[in-house]
Structure 1
């Protein structure tokens, strides 16, 4: 941060007032500043309590940047000029889950831009995350061009799937199991368990924060921590009566044209349960379209329908951005194909993951060793390429064509592709 302006970075405790038990004034000022950055209204006392509870459960670490030069008669000294938060979950790399340092609610007030605030917050936090043993950090970015300079690479994409449900929607497969409509609060003991099964099976999935359970049970609505009376829910049961998936949804209103049912959350332990949930949604009366955000770039539903033209997509955008902090630990949790050897040189302006690494791949798993000195490498890349490379977000040939990965010893890209290219694409069904 530039000299001459007394800015200070402080941790903001998840604290309550001693006299009332309500959220502290410092926490309230921090949260409202973060919400203002995303154009949300200030929180009511009830919303502050809900948010504080959720942040306590997530064990979030909150950081604020304060400008002591601002006139105290015009600006509350407790109000930060920038916000930053982090918490820990897991990321499915493919072969296993790894601890992930998740970054969220990053805002800088327009009056304090271009002063190095974000850089100081981000570089310091990533260094601490690496020291704490996290192999990766991740975030969901509202603007795609901000975080590449900090070594984050785009790892997943998402889009909104629209299913035309006018008339008879036919599926190739016969119905399996059964669907049961339930009140949203019935998901209290179901949602977390179903998500964990999905999370363990899907490359690119990231662990969920407390907010998702509160949304699923209608305790929170789409606009924040207020009850959601419009929410409806259903679960899919297999032949043994075990819950294998759930969906929450709401009618978009009679003014929506075509009449639309919006999926709020859809989680299934497998593709059969997911297909049956869509079969159920397509059967709801007085609806012409079902819209599902957070669909994958290669969503399989079209193959399940006799008429795939019923599906259209809008709003394709980047989802999860991943920053590798420890190359050996992160890439050991990845899937590979076959056996082989290669070396990779990583340049990293933040000195977190830079170096030359030898990969020994045997039967789909790898041992990674950092080499000392100026060892030769088969390929080189910057830190931002490690995220998509780690999760198999695209093929090796595409990374080379894009200029993100460079052969340095005339090693054919096909040699590396034979080891690292994976079927399908990584997918995360939630943000944070």
Structure 2
């Protein structure tokens, strides 16, 4: 992409794509200096050691596959002995992937990631400018929804983002095996992780198409599945193992990547890196396979659904312990009518919603009518009939995928319902069965 530059005071904001220098002969790929400086600022912002030049090059190539747009904010007037002015004082990135909004609807969405601001430049409005400019770009492109994953829970609500999905970290006791009650179906085979280059993305696309809340995957997940990126470094991971579930016809239905945590763990532990199943059977059989490893006493997994069926698969559900629950996907509705039309609904009905938006993008009163599971949305005169529900745009993001119920937010004092009847009607129309399930960070 072409570089776009604008200034705010003495700060320069520059949008650009990750860049790689031309490679001659047997030379190694190398990122351009601007890209290398941007990654250095990112690593500093997340309190990590700088990437090596080969790591930056591998990441830059992956970012190009995703079509990521990078933003660096530069202080050209920083006093000596500040860091080189070519190293950004703030970073930001955006790209597009689809969001499964239910009933098989995949909606192109605006993803925001890698947000950092140097401590010396806090409280100068940098984050607000980066975020509002990004949301403006999304709106101009006609994208109805923005999404991010939040490292802190108090930052993004003011920009209209609300937590929409959660994940459980679980520990599974596999001492003596993992007694799955259902008979085995198909078979699970060990594979070289490198063989997953085409299969892993294809199986994820099948998962993505059938799971409300799923967000499209970036190229880094293929690199991880194939062992080209490890958990702690952007280099080949020789510890990675992989397996694939084949159905009775020999067709792949799911894959698993995992690694041994070491003999010094107590109990002896295997860690799941990724588990993608296109069917419930494949998921169950991959767990059965994990439980068949000799000498291993525990399996750790950090991306279980809140309503994961695994405990019900076992002779003793107490073998599964939830150790942590945390939000993953945060949503920001930019275009309320377009987003509501794209959503899944469990029942027909009508609702009038009064939406408050501190940034002004989605402020208004909307008449939602669902008939035959299909929604129509009209913008209505605010002086007309009072709204059934009044809510902040961030809470609409939390309700959107059905991960939170209407009554929960009303009883929390976060949403105002006009009457008990309006609340009951809103529950019928907006609440959805089952938890949304997103397994990707970004």
**Normalised-by-shorter TM-score class:** over 0.9
Check whether the contact 1:83–1:106 (CA below 8 A) recurs between aligned residues.
yes
Check whether the contact 2:20–2:57 (CA below 8 A) recurs between aligned residues.
no
| Unaligned runs of at least 5 residues, structure 1 | none
- Establish whether residue 106 from structure 1 lines up as the match of residue 115 from structure 2: yes
- Select 2:288's aligned residue among 279, 284, 289: 279
- Establish whether residue 189 from structure 1 lines up as the match of residue 198 from structure 2: yes
Counterpart position of 2:394: 384
Counterpart position of 2:47: 39
Counterpart position of 2:4: none
Check whether the contact 1:92–1:202 (CA below 8 A) recurs between aligned residues.
yes
Check whether the contact 1:337–1:363 (CA below 8 A) recurs between aligned residues.
no
Q: Secondary structure at the match of 2:196?
A: helix
Question: What is the total number of aligned residue pairs between the two structures?
Answer: 430
- Select 2:405's aligned residue among 373, 395, 407: 395
Counterpart position of 2:20: 16
Q: What's the CA shift for 1:409?
A: 5.5
Check whether the contact 1:378–1:410 (CA below 8 A) recurs between aligned residues.
no
Check whether the contact 1:158–1:294 (CA below 8 A) recurs between aligned residues.
yes
> In structure 2, what is the Cα distance between the partners aligned to 1:111 and 1:244?
50
- Select 1:154's aligned residue among 160, 163, 173: 163
Q: What's the CA shift for 1:18?
A: 5.7
Q: What TM-score results when the alignment is normalised by the length of structure 1?
A: 0.96
Counterpart position of 1:269: 278
The 5-angstrom pairing of residues 33-432 of structure 1 reads: 33-71=41-79, 74-95=82-103, 96-375=105-384, 376-408=386-418, 411-432=421-442
Counterpart position of 2:3: none
Show CA shifts across 1:234-276 (max 9, x none). 0000011100000000000011111000000000002111000
Show CA shifts across 1:76-110 (max 9, x none). 12101000000000001112110110000000011
Show CA shifts across 1:21-69 (max 9, x none). 6211111000110111112211111111101100100010000111112
> In structure 1, what is the Cα distance between the partners aligned to 2:80 and 2:52?
24
Q: What's the CA shift for 1:17?
A: 3.7
Q: What TM-score results when the alignment is normalised by the length of structure 2?
A: 0.94
> In structure 2, what is the Cα distance between the partners aligned to 1:112 and 1:74?
12
Check whether the contact 1:33–1:79 (CA below 8 A) recurs between aligned residues.
yes
Check whether the contact 2:389–2:415 (CA below 8 A) recurs between aligned residues.
yes
| Unaligned runs of at least 5 residues, structure 2 | 1-6
> In structure 2, what is the Cα distance between the partners aligned to 1:332 and 1:387?
14
Q: Secondary structure at the match of 2:306?
A: coil
> In structure 2, what is the Cα distance between the partners aligned to 1:229 and 1:88?
31
Check whether the contact 1:93–1:203 (CA below 8 A) recurs between aligned residues.
yes
Residues 77, 18 of structure 1: CA spacing in aligned structure 2 closer, same or farther, 3 A cutoff?
Answer: farther
Q: What's the CA shift for 1:337?
A: 2.3
Q: Secondary structure at the match of 1:190?
A: helix
Check whether the contact 1:12–1:30 (CA below 8 A) recurs between aligned residues.
no
Q: What's the CA shift for 1:420?
A: 1.6
Q: Secondary structure at the match of 1:207?
A: coil
